[in-house]
Amino acid sequence: MTTQCPNILFFHVDNLGMGELGCFGGGIVRGAETKRSDDFAREGLQLWHYIAEPQCTPSRSALMTGRHAIRSGTHTVPRDGGSQGLVAWERTMGDILSEAGYATACFGKWHLGAEDGRWPTDHGFDEWYGPPRSYDESRWFDNPWYQQDRDLRSFMHEGTREAGVRQLDDQPLTMERRIDIDAEYKRRAVAFLKRSVEEERPFFLYFNHSLLHVPTIPRAEFKGMSGNGDWADCLLELDHDFGDLLDALEELGVTDNTIVVLAGDNGAEDLLISRGSSGVFDGSYFSSSEGGLRTPCLIRWPREVPPDRATNDIVHQVDMFTTLLAWAGCPIPDDREIDGVDQRSFFTGSQETSSREGCLVWVGDVLHAVKWQNLKIAYVRHKRGPEPPEVLAIPVVINLITDPKEREHWPILHAYNWVFAHVRRLREAFDGSVRREPLIPPGAPVDHVPRRDPTAE
């Protein structure tokens, strides 16, 4: 493969609400200017209706496989440290791009399995450095009821495809390490970029920034910089780190041939100590509210993706799998159910509207809603993760243009009954796909392979 194949940098932000970045109505109103992200938004495409799965594990699973997480047995964040995550049968962006000759690296949270057979290096990545699960574990060490010699322990891990993954016994995930962790991710990422360019290999850098996941405590050089507290300082830090990676691409002379995506993994953080903002919408992660599902997404590829363009057409994160692989000239797997659709024509402007008409919305293994264009058919109302969901006796159709905060219990002014025909098509299509390929159960052994019947109706 030649270096004419596009490089890919996917900058994944942890718990990024729609009201955080300046280009989405946040920035200075959240206490910190996000200049690098805002400038970047004007250089490409800004998606206002980018839908993610509403929890970290299902979101990352959907992005990496192009499949709704309910298919992969990864629909819920695991909390007990047990054997859960992607099975070996799943094929990730890392797998496919690596087979096509790409150098691949993952830095930061993987959250798709913490054992041999499920690590990033088992799924196509040449190297990885990150925690086995997530960053709230850094608070364990300050918990007076936590005992290291008795309870689950959390350390940083690193590995390569050749040598496997090892636990770094001298790097427990303490609060001090968590505060500085993104600087280490960035150091390793820049080294990977330089090495790939020197070797004249196209690269796929999957960079998982830790912010704005709790605990939101800034690095020393950002402490007090915003004048608006730790959270705003962290927003400055996030924006700065993204800018540093953009600068690295420029210094290496590969900006024009690199697809850069900045996207959140789900909606805003809800914990009061570091509460995020869903902007014009309402709700937070772990819910089926628009505030849990929508997250900023920016795409830049000079000379391919027109600059200074924004859209409210629906795009699901599974579409990134299909679109990025197609841009890289890689075949999309045809031996399994793929939910992602090819959005190249839409992203490059040769097609005015999205190639996706809607999507199904699960929270865990419960179907909460079906989205069709800017209408949302809710079977369950759920605004914030900790709150109990409300199962509706009659589905409610919500017009997200006129009611973005989903406040109306029943649309009096307009009748929307006709939309149920579109919903039925989307649901029947998914049900048919499950008959062809059964869902992988959560906790399935790593060697699990679904019994696929392509002829099933």
Question: pLDDT value at position 3?
Answer: 45
| Amino acid (1-letter code) at residue 227 | G
Q: State how far Cα 100 lies from the chain centre.
A: 23
Percentage of the chain beyond pLDDT 70 is 98
User: What residues does 203 pair with on adjacent strands?
Assistant: 103
**Bigger pLDDT: 335 vs 411:** 335
CB of 95 closer than 8 Å to CB of 124: yes
Q: Which residue in the block uniquely carries the two structure tokens 């699901």? A: 316
- Tell me the β-bridge partners of 391: 380
SS3 for 92? coil
What is the pLDDT, as a whole number, of residue 417? 86
**Enclosing H/E stretch for 361:** strand 358-363
Residue 411 has what pLDDT? 61
What domains, with CATH codes, occur in the chain? 7-348 (3.40.720.10), 358-436 (3.30.1120)
- pLDDT tens for each residue of 44-58: 999 999 999 999 999
Displacement of CA 443 from its chain's centroid (Å)? 21
In this model, does residue 420 exceed pLDDT 50?
yes
Write down the pLDDT at residue 412.
Answer: 60
Kindly tell me if the per-residue pLDDT of 18 is higher than 50. yes
Q: With helix as H, strand as E and coil as C, how does 264-330 read?
A: ECCCCCCCHHHCCCCCCCCCCCCCCCHHHHECCEEEECCCCCCCCEEECCCEECHHHHHHHHHHCCC
317 vs 352: CA distance, rounded Å: 19
Cα–Cα dist 48/310, whole Å: 7
Report d(CA 57, CA 218) in Å as an integer: 24
pLDDT digits (tens, 9 = 90+) for 87-126: 999 999 999 999 999 999 999 999 999 999 999 999 999 9
- H/E segment holding residue 233: helix 230-251
Task: Supply 92's token pair.
Answer: 């990730």
pLDDT of residue 27: 98
Taking CA atoms, 331 is separated from 3, 90, 96, 100, in Å, by 18, 15, 8, 10
Q: What is the pTM of this model?
A: 0.97
CA 289 to chain centre: 17
Q: What is the mean pLDDT of residues 374-388?
A: 92
Q: What is the pLDDT of residue 139?
A: 93
Range of lowest pLDDT (83-87, 169-173, 317-321, 407-411):
407-411
pLDDT over 60 (residue 456): yes
Identify any residues that bridge with 157 across adjacent strands, giving them in sequence order.
130, 167
**Contact between 347 and 320 (Cβ < 8 Å):** no
Angle between helices 56-65 and 318-327 (to 10 degrees): 30
Tokens of 455: 């002829």
List helix spans (H) across 102-208: 175-198
Question: Given the structure tokens 């691949």, which residue do they identify?
Answer: 104
pLDDT digits (tens, 9 = 90+) for 321-343: 999 999 999 999 999 999 999 99
What pLDDT is attached to residue 1?
A: 34
* pLDDT at 410 (0 to 100): 67
d(CA 174, CA 254): 36
The percent of residues above 90 in pLDDT, for the chain, comes to 91
Bridge partners for 371 per DSSP: 359, 376
The answer for residues whose C-beta is within 8 angstroms of residue 46's C-beta and 6 or more apart is: 23, 24, 296, 297, 298, 309, 310, 311
pLDDT for the residue 45:
98
Supply the mean pLDDT for the chain: 95
* Rounded Cα–Cα distance for residues 268 and 282 (Å): 10
Query: For 293-312, b where at least 16 C-beta lie within 10 A, e where not — what string?
Result: bbbbbbbbbeebbeeeeebe
Q: Are 274 and 368 in contact (CB under 8 A)?
A: no
Which alpha helices (DSSP H) does 13-134 contain, by range? 35-41, 56-65, 69-72, 93-99
Of 8-17, 133-142, 245-254, 413-422, the poorest mean pLDDT is in: 413-422
What is the Cα–Cα distance from 206 to 359, expressed in whole angstroms? Answer: 25
Q: What is the pLDDT of residues 169-213, one digit of tens each?
A: 999 999 999 999 999 999 999 999 999 999 999 999 999 999 999
Alpha-carbon gap, residue 220 to 222, rounded angstroms? 5
pLDDT in tens, 118-157: 999 999 999 999 999 999 999 999 999 999 899 998 999 9
Nearest to 328 by CA among 92, 93, 141, 162: 93
